[in-house]
Amino acid sequence: MRKIKITDTTIRDIFQNLSPGNINIKNFDEILKLIDEINFESLEVWGGASFERMLSNNFDKSPWEILSYIKSKVSGTPLQALLGARNLVNFDYYPKDIIKRFIRLSSKNGISIFRIYDALNDIENLKVTIDEVLKNGSKCQGTIIYDPDKKEEFYIDFITELRSLGCHSVCIKDAESTLIPQKSKELFMNLNKINEFDIYLNTKNLKGLQVSNYFEALTNGCSGIDLSFISSSYYDNNLPTVFPLILSLKDSEISHLLNKDRIDELYRLIKKDIYPNIHKNITFSSMLFSNLNKNLLPGWLILMLENQLSEIGAIDKFEIVFEEILRIKKEVGNPSMSTPIGQIIGGQAILNTLISDKRWEIISDEMQLLLKGSFGKLPDKIDDNILNVLKSYENIENISDLKNEDLYESCKSDLKKYSQDEEDILSYCFFPDRTIKFLKQKKKLRSNPIDGLKKEEIYELTQKESEKILKSINKNDFFIKENGRKSENEQPDKDDNMINISNLDVKKIKEIIELLENSNLDEIKIESGDIKLTLNKSGKIKTQNSADNFELSRLRDLEYSTEKPSGPISENLAEQPKTTEKNISAGPEDMSNNKNIIEVKSPIVGVFYNSPTPGEPPFVTIGKKVRKGDTLCIVEAMKLMNKINSDYDGIVEKILVTNEEPVEYDQAMMIIKTF
């Protein structure tokens, strides 16, 4: 009886698709212990957006440290990573130095199997990364993105080439859910001609056919498959779960090594602790029947499009953008929609349908690079009409020039005041802003890898939140005891000026409120220096100050009155203007009568960046002269960095948004006075 090999992606799915803040360290350890006892061939823990999501959470551990932590708990099962050959865990392509460092440190921290893919199935893109994996003594699984238009000979030739490069196995990855059972049967019947070489299949459950696809593949020679405990019935874009596949093999000539008792235990644990926190997305389900005979796009791309269109109030245009993506895909040579090609085509589809007056009026820099071959060789011929439009664009730098070979040293210099650890520097190379935020946060947090309570990024209290606290104060729920003068039954005198209240740390109050609201606790008591703070879900806030004087960050921007405890508070709030940067203005003036004043508006929902990379000087400052075509800023959307160039000669009068601030579609970002 032939025994198949099964890779589990549950750990990766937990980080990529859920909020890890909803998992406490005790439950996470139980999951790791059980999953290690099931006898999976490997556990995929990195892939897709998991690295970025790990970096963005309040674990006090970097993705590298989380990986090392998982390895310390999982001793019997190899850990696996899915990586882009040249883009690794991000959108951009990286120089050889970064690739070498990343593979070496990944191996050091626990990855022993690397599944390497290229979105264009370009063998030249794969060679460097495969070579580095082998040099580090790890196993390499070459990956082929499934293309329904390719004949079996294409896959046989590709597998032969990957094998000659030293790959230990190959995975056929159905990134767009286009595989159907009959094709799965035919494909693996032909691939079965390749002797003594493991060929795996990875396919998502987006069309509900994937258990059948797996069954047909396995019964016709497929060596192994991917499964997950994050059920596709809860999350449409996931892999098939373990149970239906195991049941489908009953009484067949195929068996497995999985421990069924441990599977049952793990299923119960995940069902209890994970399923309640899974966000169900109806977009996937609604598309299953309306697009039966079309590509369904990778699930992450569908989610990205849905979020982007929701933000600009154009979710009703989803089908239009979706159809445009399929049209562009065909026009530009029918590439796979895997990262980074999916982002490029998705971004261009929004430009073509919602931003530009006509199709291909604007071509993003990334799309220009793709069409010029900088990402690799496209599978098919580019439409002649697109090539003619491209001729009107100026020459753009080759992608090898865009990623400087000195990138690591440059990032090391940028990060010197935060960290000089090689892992942190690499994280900064991929996600600079998130890495800086993480390292700043890490200085404040000293906790377990997962602390069990969801804590979002802390901001200043909003007016509404401030009013809520002050209303509690004015309703005698806030008591002060100072030098023995006050008791809990006495109301603070007006002459006290509430000095102790104004000394409370705003950010700490916000954090404590969120801790309480996201926990199962009814009350939290906190002691900080000489302050004792009690919060409970009944709305009462109590403090006690036992010292003559204490120092905490002041609760600025608030004025309050105790004359009328039951009266409204909002009219007593005074908000200070924000002056985060010297060149930030409070807002645009009335410019209806000034024809020389131009508002620079965001063409898309995204994040405003005032400089090319963190630490570099801003593109423009107030008072700077600009010429037509000069870059004013960047608006990042769908991981595409969209340069916003000036359409006029003039002087920057005002900058209306701060660096890294989200901007809406058509929001004014700058004001330019034209010459």
Q: Please write the tens of the pLDDT for every residue from 279-312.
A: 655 555 455 445 444 556 777 787 778 777 877 7
Mean pLDDT of 73-91: 95
Mean pLDDT in the chain?
77
The answer, yes or no, to whether residue 161 has pLDDT greater than 50, is yes
Report the Cα–Cα distance between both ends of the chain, in Å, rounded: 81
- Tell me which amino acid residue 322 is: F
Mapped onto helix, strand or coil, the DSSP state of residue 393 is coil
| Neighbour count for residue 170 (Cβ, 10 Å) | 25
Instruction: Give Cα 159 to chain centroid, integer Å.
Output: 31
Mapped onto helix, strand or coil, the DSSP state of residue 536 is strand
| Domains of the chain listed by start with CATH number | 2-277 (3.20.20.70), 282-402 (1.10.472), 463-572 (no CATH), 597-674 (2.40.50.100)
Specify the range with the lowest mean pLDDT, choosing from 165-169, 544-548, 624-628. 544-548
Among 368, 407, 382, 374, smallest CA distance to 642 is for 368
Mapped onto helix, strand or coil, the DSSP state of residue 201 is strand
Please state the three-class secondary structure of 419-436 as a single string.
CCCHHHHHHHHHCHHHHH
* pLDDT at site 617: 86
The answer, yes or no, to whether residue 452 has pLDDT greater than 70, is no
Copy the structure tokens of residue 14. 């937990």
* pLDDT at site 44: 96
Whole-angstrom Cα distance, residue 145 to residue 121?
Answer: 7
* pLDDT at site 186: 96
CA distances for 139 relative to 86, 394, 475, angstroms: 18, 43, 66
User: Which residues make beta-bridge pairs with 170?
Assistant: 142, 199
Copy the structure tokens of residue 424. 């942190």
The answer, yes or no, to whether residue 571 has pLDDT greater than 50, is no
- pLDDT confidence tier of residue 230, bands split at 50, 70 and 90: confident
